Amino acid sequence: MPEERPAEPSPCYISFPYNRPISGRTITIQRFPETLRGGINWSYTTPLAVSLGPYHHASPMVGEVEKVKQHVMERLCFESGCTVEAVREKMRSVAGSARACYANDEKLSGVDADAFADMMALDGCFLLQFIVSMCPEDPDSAPDALMSMAEIHTRFDIIARDIMLLENQVPWVVVKALMEFRTVPAAASVDKFISVMAATFDVRSYRQVSGSARGHHHNAGLTTLSSIFSSAMELAEIGVRLTSSKMTKFGEMSMKKGRFLHGELSLAPVFLNELTACWLINMAAYEACVGATQADNYAVSSYISLVALLIDREGDVKELRAKSIVHSTFSDDQALGFFKLLSSRLRIGRRYYHIFECLQEYKKERWVWIVVHKFYKNIKVIVTVLSVIGVLAGIFKTLVFLRPQK
């Protein structure tokens, strides 16, 4: 089905679908790629409050929340009128499919079928209840029992961070099976939760995400051409305006050539803090593992790489802030370091290359305008400087005239 083009002339507009598979290969929940580990803080890849799945099971750092999981499963059974054994039996029926979602790993090889099913039951119940507690269908309902627990209430932000880690996942087949036991449907809560997670990256508004995203096995999936130009500030010198995209997909980018002379490079805004930085790292790692199976491969990696290319110094970060593209609790230096460090290890996709093809085409077609534009900007600077010099000279002459004569 052909994609819709914007109304204005835009031969370089690009917007690929996010969830269109091009391969039948099973998407696995893999280990964080070694190629991305260098220089990245270990806390960005390791759960600090709750473990989900086998890779970090029984980690000493997650002991307090681990004690809560049994209570959460028993509460699900109490509310649904089923037995704990019924939940475990259901997990055994999907354990084969769930196990196939994980990469072959020594942590998994030492877990037998029954132990794996029990792990999926406990972890799946916790994840589902956390989602429902965070995004209840009825906002006016009584305070949720899970959120009232000290083990959860005091670690809420860390848990929200942990459930998006690449290595800390429960397959969707597990959550879907457990949803059958709930007396109140949880589908709306899941959709709302995905939207809340996506909206965390965008300070402008709350974004809705298509329900088709629930088909992914992994939470992180729910969401040298530098000679062309070197920074955001230098883009302005060749007549290309940087703008904040109005599109709803995180990572959107497009290049437009206007009817007359100027060009426009549009990027989706991103909010960067410790939480979203952690998520971005794990989303990029997820792409490194399964990018070849997606039509819009390396969308997040391409976005990060393009932002990194636009910023060579703190002044470039200020420029992106001024254009409402980057919003951050980080300092300019911290934001610069984050994008530069991460981008040096990422694979990039066709979005990235497409933008550069458009910029190259713009430079070739409008080289005369670029020369004129640079001259005009330089003339403005020269005129401004001369005006300032003229004012200072006038002040100096006045002071000399007013100086008492001996």
CA distances (Å), origin 326, targets 58, 273, 317: 38, 11, 8
Per domain, the residue ranges of the chain are 34-185, 232-365, 371-406
**240 — phi, psi (to 5°)?**
-105, 120
**Is the per-residue pLDDT at 23 higher than 60?**
no
**What's the pLDDT score for residue 88?**
94
Give pLDDT tens digits for 387-404. 655 666 666 666 556 556
Which SS3 state, helix, strand or coil, does residue 375 take? helix
Q: Which of 355, 162, 333 is nearest to 251 (CA)?
A: 355
Q: Which of 39, 36, 44 is nearest to 346 (CA)?
A: 36
Residue 110 contacts residue 84 (beta carbons within 8 Å): no
**What's the pLDDT score for residue 203?**
53
Q: Which of 242, 304, 241, 302 is nearest to 270 (CA)?
A: 304
Which SS3 state, helix, strand or coil, does residue 312 take? coil
Q: Which of 158, 254, 157, 247 is nearest to 202 (CA)?
A: 247
Beta-sheet strand order (sheet of 263-267): 240-244, 263-267, 253-257
Give pLDDT tens digits for 309-357. 889 889 999 999 999 999 999 999 999 999 998 888 887 777 787 887 7
Average pLDDT over residues 190-218: 61
CA distances (Å), origin 71, targets 31, 68, 154, 337: 29, 5, 18, 43
**pTM above the 0.95 mark?**
no
Report the mean per-residue pLDDT for the chain.
Answer: 77
Instruction: Give dist(CA 354, CA 38) in Å, integer.
Output: 28
Look up tokens 């009128």; give the residue: 81
Under DSSP, the state recorded for 4 is P
**What's the pLDDT score for residue 366?**
58
